Chains A and B, each alone.
Chain A
């Protein structure tokens, strides 16, 4: 009963969001959606396809003990210890992409020829701390 008193009251209709904050820590390293269209960059004159491109990005804090959840190398934990115990000018591990998927692009070359090309590592699909 005492615990209940301390728990902040949340509007009933948002219960799943309310409980989520206890399950997952906030602002932790994760993949975020980001979608752009080449017309925004005024590249659509020569990029014929795709019209839209979702590169995504990684953002968030890296927890102290990363372990298997992020697939981080052991060095990540060592860097954390250096930051906390030895030299705080050494940055904490960063939240960066760990895996990508390719992107196919159809473009017009300056000489008017047309090229279809598959580019490596153009869409972030998973994040890690390192």
Chain B
């Protein structure tokens, strides 16, 4: 594997070289197109450090922005759910994604207005998705809200969320105009962890599919305490949208370096180097159907 992370000038293997690496030896047809080195710069950070430039150069780069502590807490919890103590992806997790990215908004335009009954929060958010690479394909996108401490635990809350995507018209104003929007209402119970995930996959899919680097959205959040199903009166506006939401992207990285859960399963089936353990915990990509088909196959063979 160590040869995979590095561009080498190797005639026999036909690997390409970056133009400035002893290009004199190879004919120009084999040079990498200009700019690929920049793409190379977007290698996942771990591989970038493991590649030929080494950790020192990594530390000498621009200082790293520190993430929001809530966001960090959330991702640590996700890590514990997805990987064992040794850091190996849990085999029981049959999730399709092999990459999850959490972005906090990099700029906000806050509008806040209050009327008699409701406490309406409206905020413009700008997310910069530069770190998403061309080989990371979107599976799901979620707006992640966290409640502040003033909300009592296991209280019932009804919220209406108004989401709109903004396009910059080139008049240069800071808060651009609205292009398309969506409104939906949520009803949920505030649990101990106080996170609410709002699935906005279908809403953001067209933007992310067109590799949009900056996503500008306005989020209008209105929450009232009470449970409409049990006909309790909606009262007591809730102070929920003080912390702007983060954007969570579940992605499938198709690059060679990323772990492809299904490949390794297929590989194991094709080359059972060791006798297959009856009780091994196989992650079943096709669900129970597959077990049946295996059972049928065995009985057919027996017949």
| Residue positions of A touching B, CB distance < 8 A | 41-43, 45-50, 52-54, 71, 98-121, 123, 126
Contacts and interface: CB of A to CB of B under 8 A. Distances in A.
A117 B258 contact: yes
Interface in B39-90: 44-47, 49, 55, 59, 61-62, 64-67, 71-72, 75-76, 78-79, 82-83, 85-89
13 contacts: A42-B59, A48-B75, A101-B88, A103-B87, A104-B79, A104-B83, A110-B45, A111-B130, A117-B44, A118-B83, A118-B259, A119-B44, A119-B259
B273 A117 contact: no
Contacts of B120: none
Interface string B1-41: 10000000000000000000000000000000000000000
Which of B46, B72, B98, B99: most chain A Cβ within 10 A? B46
B288 interface: no
B89 A102 contact: yes
B55 A41 contact: yes
B258 A118 contact: yes
Contact of B76 (A45, A99, A103, A106): A106
Nearest to B101: A115
Nearest to A116: B100
Contacts of A126: 273
Given A104-B82, A112-B67, A113-B101, A50 B45 contact: no
Contact of A102 (B59, B65, B79, B264): B264
Q: What 5 A-B pairs are tightest by C-beta distance, nearest first?
A: A112-B65, A50-B87, A104-B83, A102-B259, A118-B259
Which of A45, A117, A120: most chain B Cβ within 10 A? A117
B131 A111 contact: yes
B148 to A, nearest CB: 21
Nearest to B80: A49
B119 interface: no
A115 B79 contact: no
Contact of B75 (A41, A52, A112, A114): A114
Interface in B74-123: 75-76, 78-79, 82-83, 85-89, 98-104, 106
Contact of B79 (A49, A111, A123): A49
Contacts of A123: 86, 88
B179 interface: no
A117 B86 contact: no
A46 B131 contact: no
B89 A117 contact: no
Given A48-B76, A54-B86, A113-B131, A108 B64 contact: yes
